[in-house]
Structure 1
Amino acid sequence: MYQKLLSFIFLVSIAATNIPVMAQNNPLEAYRWQNRLLLVFVPQVEDGRLTSLQNTLNQVECEFKDRDLLLGVLTRNAPSRIGNNLISSYHEAQLRAKYGVNYNQFAVILIGKDGQPKNQLSEVPEIEKIFGQIDNMPMRQQEMANRSNHCN
């Protein structure tokens, strides 16, 4: 009986110490329930598709921020980041594997506040369609009802 109790305590302590490690292994966990993410995977940071998307986002910066969106740019030939936070090459590779994006591919993935992918595209998205998709999400509907849009 005493041996079983010790074994149980040992297993519980191992499980408890592994919980933070598992959370640290998800590079998107820090954004869950705080931000929506627009992750852009590019072969090179000089990719014209990324430049085109960034130019569009500069024109709708207020609307982008109003939807609690952060831009993530993941590439091998420059530091990857989400918003102002750097992403390690390990976490970049982890995200590429998770979403099935090779290093030579271009992909844009919309991640909801719940941490789940909502859309995955292989071309530059029309930002109004992304905004429309977000605006139809139940959590966004609540946000719009509870706060005024200061972008107009």
Structure 2
Amino acid sequence: MTGKLLTVLLFFTCLTAQSQDLRKHRWEDRIVLLISDSLDSDTLKQQLQLFQQAEKALKERKIVVYQISSSRVKKGINKSSADSNGDLYKRYKKSDAPFEVVLIGLDGGVKLRKERIVKPPELFELIDRMPMRRAEMYKGESP
């Protein structure tokens, strides 16, 4: 009986660890999830290119970008290694659209969901209206 209980507990611990991958960012970073059918899609590449051009503004707003497909996850907007983890895809993919952009605020709540490329000024305008961002700007906080 103890062996079975231990196996079940281990299974749920591993499952919880995967699903809590983004929890480490709570109250520290805003998260943008770029969810695509493929990490090689043209739409994803176009979105990344726009973000690369606005990299300084992303950092000022404490934005961490994740590139997510059903089988792989990459952190960052530049070339980075991919982990195999479909958990984030299953959790945040909400439509049949081949591409989605999801903004998660400092509190862990979804603040924006679009099924198209989001230009950085649109994203920054939304973030800059948020009370916590206004407080950061007032205090002069920047990474």
Place the TM-score, normalised by the shorter chain, in its bin.
0.7 to 0.9
SS in 2 for 1:143: helix
The Cα of 1:98 is off from its aligned counterpart by 2.7
Counterpart among 62, 82, 86 of residue 68 in structure 1: 62
Which residue is equivalent to 1:127?
120
Counterpart among 87, 110, 113 of residue 106 in structure 2: 113
Separation in 2 of the partners of 1:26 and 1:103? 24
Q: 1:143 to 1:97 in 2, by over 3 A?
A: same
The Cα of 1:127 is off from its aligned counterpart by 1.4
Counterpart among 16, 22, 25 of residue 28 in structure 1: 22
Structure 1 residue runs of 5 or longer lacking an equivalent are 1-16
The Cα of 1:61 is off from its aligned counterpart by 0.8
The Cα of 1:104 is off from its aligned counterpart by 6.6
What is the RMSD of the two structures over their aligned residues, measured on CA atoms? 2.8
Q: Does 1:147 align with 2:140?
A: yes
The code of the aligned residue for 1:95 comes to L
Separation in 1 of the partners of 2:141 and 2:104? 23
Q: Is the 8 A contact 1:38 1:109 kept in 2?
A: yes
Q: Is the 8 A contact 2:30 2:105 kept in 1?
A: yes
Identity of aligned residues (%): 24
SS in 1 for 2:51: helix
What does 1:47-58 align with in structure 2 at a 5 Å threshold?
Answer: 47-58=41-52
Q: 1:66 to 1:149 in 2, by over 3 A?
A: same
CA radius of gyration, larger in: 1
Q: Is the 8 A contact 2:32 2:101 kept in 1?
A: yes
TM-score by length of 1: 0.72
Q: Is the 8 A contact 1:43 1:103 kept in 2?
A: no
Structure 2 residue runs of 5 or longer lacking an equivalent are 1-8
Once the two structures are superposed, residues 95-128 of structure 1 have per-residue CA deviations (whole angstroms, 9 ceiling, x without a partner) of 3333343687311100001111001000001211
Q: Is the 8 A contact 2:32 2:66 kept in 1?
A: yes
TM-score by length of 2: 0.76
Which residue is equivalent to 2:5?
none
Once the two structures are superposed, residues 19-43 of structure 1 have per-residue CA deviations (whole angstroms, 9 ceiling, x without a partner) of xx48633221011111101100111
What does 1:38-53 align with in structure 2 at a 5 Å threshold?
Answer: 38-53=32-47
